[in-house]
Amino acid sequence: MAKNAESINSNNQENKEKLETIKNVVQKEAIDTKLILDSIPIGVCITDQQGVLINVNIAFSKLFGYTKEELIGQPFTILLPERNRQSFSYLHKKWKGQLYEQRGNWRMINKDGDEFTVLSNASFQQDEQTGQYQQFTFLVDTKDQEQSHLELQSTIDLLYQRLEIQDHAHQQDEHDLKNNVGSMVNIADILLNRKPTQEQERWLRMLMQVGTKTMHMLKASSDYARMEKESYAPEISKFSFAETMQEVISNLQEIANRKSASFSFAYNGKATSLEHIAITLEADRYYMEELLRFLLQNALEASPDHAEITIEVEKEEAFVLKFHNQGIIPSDIQSHFFEKYVSSGKNQGSGLGTYLAKLIVELHGGTITYRTSEKAGTTIFIHLPRQVVVD
């Protein structure tokens, strides 16, 4: 038994990582949750933030002797002996919002009133639309402790393997799509060398631009997914901060012109021009450029017309960037500003800009925060490790 307990503990961290992947895919991917749950041979239930059952699988219903319809909408505590309900509710509140509850054994009660013990492994997830927490719980009967652990372990492994297969399929689809778009860009490039008419050349160049941008978007989509799983390896190179910033500003010039906005710069507390900020960075250039684009575009869109966007750069103990605009972050999104799909008062946009900016900053070992008020406007603060700057 001691050896078995040691085995359970040694696999705990690996199970946490697998459960994180499983719950993220169930939450984010367009897949049939019921089909996945009912294919699992052990009991699985999903409860809401108040501990009310919102989904169960066939094995869970069979374990407790209820139909699915009898369980949905009921508090999870109806499955506990009455003497344990108060302590369980206390622990549920204590654990809520953490990634994982403690693994352990729980006394349960079935529809006939018979008590039995289960081995559980639970994790919380946050619904991206409502912000509410849900809990995934895996349960197996412990009549045979070792067999129960093997069932739980094999179920986690099996489900994780299925999701890995699905992920490989997605990667292959993405690879094929990138190849097709790449072929389109190459054909356009070849035709440009065949002395096209002026009108044909204009369309071919537009085709190349759209195709190239699409390829970058496909790659970025895959990279951001890996960043979320902390499995993306940044492509480090040396590049000029000023040149990269100027390229971003040029690409956003249409928005700036439409709003009659202007840009100003400061370096270590002194006003200056962009070309005089002679800093070389050593980081993932593509995603640092994306970071600057996200934050500048957000500042432009949030600012009133005829406003000035200020970018301050500091290079001392850390590399610090400050983006200031005269707009304010609406109170209804302030606590969720760096979360997914958060947007307010915009006709366009995915609500992903600040979330992806946070991913990029954290990829480089930094932090991102903000300060906002009606009087002072909004400032985004980025602190990156000093080593991203080449002396």
Return the minimum-mean-pLDDT range out of 73-82, 212-221, 245-254, 303-312.
Answer: 212-221
Q: How far is CA 116 from the centre of its chain?
A: 39
Q: Are 120 and 139 in contact (CB under 8 A)?
A: yes
Q: How far is CA 259 from the centre of its chain?
A: 31
Which residue from 150, 165, 170 is spatially nearest to 222, judged by alpha carbons?
A: 170
Rounded-to-integer distance, Cα 34 and Cα 20, Å: 18
Q: What is the pLDDT of residues 51-94, one digit of tens each?
A: 899 999 888 999 999 999 999 999 999 999 988 787 776 565 55
**Could you give all domains of the chain from N- to C-terminal order, each with its CATH number?**
2-165 (3.30.450.20), 236-390 (3.30.565.10)
Report the pLDDT value the prediction gives residue 244, as an integer from 0 to 100.
95
Which residue from 338, 64, 169 is spatially nearest to 56, judged by alpha carbons?
A: 64
CA atoms in the 13 A half-sphere facing the CB of 63? 25
Please state the φ and ψ torsions of residue 99, each to the nearest 5 degrees. -70, -40
Q: What is the pLDDT of residues 273-292, one digit of tens each?
A: 999 999 999 999 999 999 99
Is the confidence at residue 231, as pLDDT, over 50? yes
Q: What is the pLDDT of residues 125-159, one digit of tens each?
A: 666 566 677 777 878 776 655 554 555 555 555 55
Is the confidence at residue 5, as pLDDT, over 60? no
SS3 of the chain: helix, strand, coil, percent, to 5: 50, 25, 25
Q: For the purposes of burial, counting CB atoms within 10 Å of the CB of 263, is it exposed (0-12), middle (13-18) or buried (19 or more)? A: middle
What is the pLDDT averaged over residues 229-257? 92
Q: What is the pLDDT of residues 90-106, one digit of tens each?
A: 565 555 544 444 456 78
Instruction: Decide which of 386 and 220 is more confident.
Output: 386
Q: Which two tokens stand for residue 131?
A: 């912000």
Instruction: Decide which of 18 and 382 is more confident.
Output: 382
Q: Are 237 and 282 in contact (CB under 8 A)?
A: yes
Which residue from 383, 362, 364 is spatially nearest to 319, judged by alpha carbons?
A: 383
Give the three-class secondary structure for 284.
Answer: strand
Q: What is the edge-to-edge ordering of all strands in the sheet holding 389-390? A: 236-240, 280-284, 389-390
